[in-house]
A and B are shown apart, each in its own frame.
Chain A
Amino acid sequence: MISANKPTKAARYGMTIDVDRCNGCGACMVACAVENNVPPLPQANDRKGLTWIRVYKVDNGQRTAYVPVMCQHCGADTPCVSVCPQHAVDIDPATGIVGEMPQRCLGCRYCMAACPYHARYFNWWDPEWPQGMEKALNPGVTPRMRGVAEKCNFCHGRWHAAKQQAAANGQPDGPVSYTPACVEACPTGAIRFGDLNDTTDPVAQAAKTSGSFRLLETLGTEPKVYYQSKRDWVRAIASAPRPGLGKENSRG
């Protein structure tokens, strides 16, 4: 997962999500599942489902908003990294992406307990697709086995493909430009992705605007996913433990 060679210039990939443009259609959720070979779980409920990105419906009693939440790719004191006894979670210094290695995962779920964003999911069942549908799996991503935790990795498979393409084009070092599946799928253009280290990147610029905020910013985990909204009450929910729910740790 971690780049073998120290990059000449490291990227810090991040996202901006305009909550005021999200209509909660769920295209990002299914596009993510298609890209990353996340199986359908007809036996699961909202507590045991596998959704690397989940759109939460939140309200203030009067109006509603939809907030897509995935791994926030914490840049400091990353809780899941620090608790994993197997070193199955790490941060790639070349990209800033918090990665997960299912081969190392023991299934202890400490990372799930530690994640303040409830963005990690556990494979309660063997990955199964309806008969024949395994032919439609993405060949770029390996399905994970039962008993391991998993989460968003900013479509690391796409990053690898972009890196290979860059190397083939004679540019083996430095950040590459690519688009995660949820960003590509969002029909409203609410989700954008880019390099936060690149000051010319529109995403890096948007992350610094005044309406921009991050979830649970007071924890000091320095998430790389920035949200935007002009509505005060939407910005206020950023400090809630989990959008849309009063109780914590309701999943898994």
Chain B
Amino acid sequence: MNSTRRDLFIYAGGSAAGALLTPAPWRLITDTALWSENWPGIPSPPRGEIRTKFTNCSVCRAGCAVRARCVGDQPVQLAGVASHPLSHGALCPFGLTAHHLPYHPARLKQGSAEQALAAASAAGGRIAVLDLRPGRTASWTYRRAMAALNGLYVTADQPVAFDLHQAKTVLSLGVPLLDGWGTPGNVWAARPGFRLIQAEAIESRTAALADVWLPIQPGTEEALALAIGNAIQHGKADDERALSLANELTHNGPALVLDNSGSAAVMALNQLLGAAGHTMVARPEAPVPDSWQKAVLATGLAQIEDRSISVLLIDESAVDRYLPWHTIERKLVRDNPVVVTFASSRGGYARHARFALPTAVYPEFAEDIPTAIDSPAATFRISTPLAAPPPGMVNPAEFIATLADLPKSDALRERADAIHQAGRGTVFTPADGKTVAVKSLTAEVFWKSLSEAGCWIDEPGHGRAPQAEPRPYLPPSEPGSGGLPLVALLATPQAPPLISPLMTKLYQESNLRLAPNRVALNPSEARAARLEDGAHAFLETHLGKCGVEVSVDAAVPAGMVLVGTAPGILDVCGPAARAKVVAA
């Protein structure tokens, strides 16, 4: 029989079709999955001895206690310490992922400290330090250095602390009380004891869990506080809502009123409610050595004469509150000021500084954390390093101490000794979960406890009433002014300057939180501006404009824009500012 070419094709086709009925090809498909498992691009997790270390988180001033799971010396997982008397085992998302900060691609890694030191030394005129997290031991170094250099120590701190555990009613004027305002564990521990009234333009995370959410116009917080104060004093008010709140605050006390700026009206209202000295005290600080008392006092930025500072040193390594650059820039001399910033990324003041010096990030360096806003008793905690910093990092306190020719010393140890000498309070050690009186410890043992992430807590009853400086009340601008149709709402809480790359899970992969570089618009506003979700746009205010990405969110009321808290946005947009979003 002759085989034709056609027969060959029929045979081959039949064989191929028949093979499909056998397990062989299907097995090959399975095997492709197995081959892909062994791609060399998949990283290998570290290997080594598993250890547990403790530290205190210094991402914000809450200073939550941290239990770190380490492979060798490398932290791979962070968790809270359940038995801690202040943080109660809680950590926020920023703290949970903070061991990734050293690897952030945007981390600042280079900068010449020698050149910056030479320029700062050579420049004449007035010198100032801007401290964005006052109350640290480093802050005292700055104050002593400025005393030696006849300079200014500048802060923007709210100098009060609150005791939520003693309060029965809390009126929060836009404060992210349940979402990053204070120590998360402490706030949640106190939460069952008070009724929360959240007055805020948008239903924030705090408003969502408040007992009452009171929608108000942005920028009217201080006016509401004034109206409530008037209602308490005179028993009547034009605003029915203020009268009702006044009744509730006075009849269900102790009551507290909180706001984001520490406004005079809110301070006065707390005085009226009897909170001052009880549930609201001046921000307490741990004792310091007597020799440090010759330091300069803190000055507010507003109190400084315009165009008077020649050399400005900004400690941006720990930021609690970002001050818009235009408020700082107007204090600098016009002619070639020397601005040195100590920063972990280029996103903040480094954009404007002549010298941007890289600093170590948490958890790479030892630093104490000042008393949290929700702690009426002074505390002292050290953020014990869990990893070594890369070479070339600059310690701001050492830099400024060198500039002022301060003698070299171990300031943390000196302060710990001063606390021990005062003999007050207790220290909690996370490794064994025990709390002991300071009196019963030697100075050496006390220092060892603090070095192992211990937490010193002062005795209660040392709180004093805050000294509030009255400030004039400025009513918000009229709607529609300046051709800017929207009113800006600042997203809360403010994100730290450097966050874990893993936060894309919240900012981008789920849109659970508004990313710092984004603004959110109501769908109708977005349509009117011809903007879609994810579009690039400009946020315009009377201070300038800034590039942003757009989110469309029906929860944002019409006529408003919710803005992220990236420094670039905060430079042009404050709370309740008039704004416009236009397509890029």
When the two chains form their complex, are residues A34 and B96 in contact, meaning their CB atoms are under 8 A apart? yes
When the two chains form their complex, are residues A29 and B504 in contact, meaning their CB atoms are under 8 A apart? no
CA A186 to CA B211, docked complex, whole Å: 21
Q: How far is the CB of A69 from chain B (nearest CB, A)?
A: 11
Known: A34-B502, A127-B41, A136-B46. 15 other contacts (CB 8 A): A23-B205, A27-B91, A29-B510, A29-B512, A42-B504, A42-B508, A44-B509, A48-B509, A55-B510, A104-B33, A126-B39, A126-B41, A137-B43, A143-B43, A187-B92
Q: Which of A30-55 contact B (CB under 8 A)?
A: 30-31, 33-35, 37-38, 40-42, 44-46, 48-51, 54-55
A61-77 Cβ-contact flags toward B at 8 Å (1 or 0) = 00111100000000000
When the two chains form their complex, are residues B208 and A66 in contact, meaning their CB atoms are under 8 A apart? yes
Q: Which of A110-157 contact B (CB under 8 A)?
A: 126-143, 145-148
A-B pairs with beta carbons under 8 Å apart, 8 shown: A20-B209, A27-B93, A30-B96, A64-B208, A136-B99, A138-B45, A139-B46, A148-B36
- B37 — nearest CB in chain A belongs to which residue? A103
Chain A residues with Cβ below 8 Å from B33 are 86, 103-107, 147-148
Q: How far is the CB of B333 from chain A (nearest CB, A)?
A: 40
CA A65 to CA B207, docked complex, whole Å: 10
- A103 — nearest CB in chain B belongs to which residue? B37
Chain B residues with Cβ below 8 Å from A50 are 505, 509
CA A85 to CA B369, docked complex, whole Å: 55
Q: Which of A227-248 contact B (CB under 8 A)?
A: none
B518 at the A/B interface (Cβ < 8 Å)? no
When the two chains form their complex, are residues A188 and B188 in contact, meaning their CB atoms are under 8 A apart? yes
B102 at the A/B interface (Cβ < 8 Å)? yes
B9 at the A/B interface (Cβ < 8 Å)? no
Partner of A25, one of B76, B205, B534: B205
Knowing A64-B203, A104-B30, A184-B79, the reply to whether A134 touches B44 (Cβ < 8 A) is yes
Knowing A66-B205, A136-B103, A137-B76, the reply to whether A40 touches B42 (Cβ < 8 A) is no
Q: How far is the CB of A157 from chain B (nearest CB, A)?
A: 11
CA A64 to CA B179, docked complex, whole Å: 15
Partner of A185, one of B91, B104, B506: B91
- B493 — nearest CB in chain A belongs to which residue? A25
Chain B residues with Cβ below 8 Å from A86 are 30, 33
Chain B residues with Cβ below 8 Å from A55 are 510, 512
Chain B residues with Cβ below 8 Å from A25 are 92-93, 179-180, 184, 205
When the two chains form their complex, are residues B30 and A106 in contact, meaning their CB atoms are under 8 A apart? yes
Knowing A66-B208, A130-B103, the reply to whether A135 touches B74 (Cβ < 8 A) is yes
* Smallest CB-CB A-B distances: 7 pairs: A49-B509, A187-B90, A134-B43, A133-B103, A137-B45, A26-B506, A139-B45
- B38 — nearest CB in chain A belongs to which residue? A145
CA A220 to CA B91, docked complex, whole Å: 37
When the two chains form their complex, are residues A23 and B178 in contact, meaning their CB atoms are under 8 A apart? yes
Residue with the highest number of chain A CB atoms closer than 10 Å, among B37, B48, B80: B37
B86-107 Cβ-contact flags toward A at 8 Å (1 or 0) = 0000111100110110111100
When the two chains form their complex, are residues B509 and A41 in contact, meaning their CB atoms are under 8 A apart? yes
| A contacts with B: majority SS | loop
Q: How far is the CB of A127 from chain B (nearest CB, A)?
A: 6
When the two chains form their complex, are residues B208 and A143 in contact, meaning their CB atoms are under 8 A apart? no
Knowing A27-B92, A136-B100, the reply to whether A145 touches B36 (Cβ < 8 A) is yes
A79 at the A/B interface (Cβ < 8 Å)? no
When the two chains form their complex, are residues B502 and A147 in contact, meaning their CB atoms are under 8 A apart? no
Knowing A57-B512, A126-B41, the reply to whether A23 touches B208 (Cβ < 8 A) is yes
Chain B residues with Cβ below 8 Å from A57 are 512, 555
Knowing A51-B509, A137-B43, the reply to whether A30 touches B208 (Cβ < 8 A) is no
B327 at the A/B interface (Cβ < 8 Å)? no
B433 at the A/B interface (Cβ < 8 Å)? no
CA A130 to CA B29, docked complex, whole Å: 32
Knowing A49-B510, A135-B46, the reply to whether A30 touches B500 (Cβ < 8 A) is yes
B77 at the A/B interface (Cβ < 8 Å)? yes
When the two chains form their complex, are residues A134 and B505 in contact, meaning their CB atoms are under 8 A apart? no
Chain A residues with Cβ below 8 Å from B90 are 187-188
B392 at the A/B interface (Cβ < 8 Å)? no
- A46 — nearest CB in chain B belongs to which residue? B511
When the two chains form their complex, are residues B97 and A147 in contact, meaning their CB atoms are under 8 A apart? no
A201 at the A/B interface (Cβ < 8 Å)? no
B64-83 Cβ-contact flags toward A at 8 Å (1 or 0) = 00000001001111111000
B118 at the A/B interface (Cβ < 8 Å)? no
Residue with the highest number of chain B CB atoms closer than 10 Å, among A23, A54, A146, A189: A23
Knowing A27-B93, A29-B506, A127-B42, the reply to whether A65 touches B208 (Cβ < 8 A) is yes
- B44 — nearest CB in chain A belongs to which residue? A134
- B97 — nearest CB in chain A belongs to which residue? A30
B234 at the A/B interface (Cβ < 8 Å)? no
Q: How far is the CB of B69 from chain A (nearest CB, A)?
A: 8
When the two chains form their complex, are residues B205 and A24 in contact, meaning their CB atoms are under 8 A apart? yes
A59 at the A/B interface (Cβ < 8 Å)? yes
Chain A residues with Cβ below 8 Å from B79 are 31, 184-185
CA A42 to CA B80, docked complex, whole Å: 27
CA A126 to CA B500, docked complex, whole Å: 19
Chain B residues with Cβ below 8 Å from A189 are 188
Chain B residues with Cβ below 8 Å from A140 are 45
A211 at the A/B interface (Cβ < 8 Å)? no
Chain A residues with Cβ below 8 Å from B91 are 27, 185, 187
A102 at the A/B interface (Cβ < 8 Å)? yes
B206 at the A/B interface (Cβ < 8 Å)? yes
Chain A residues with Cβ below 8 Å from B102 are 132
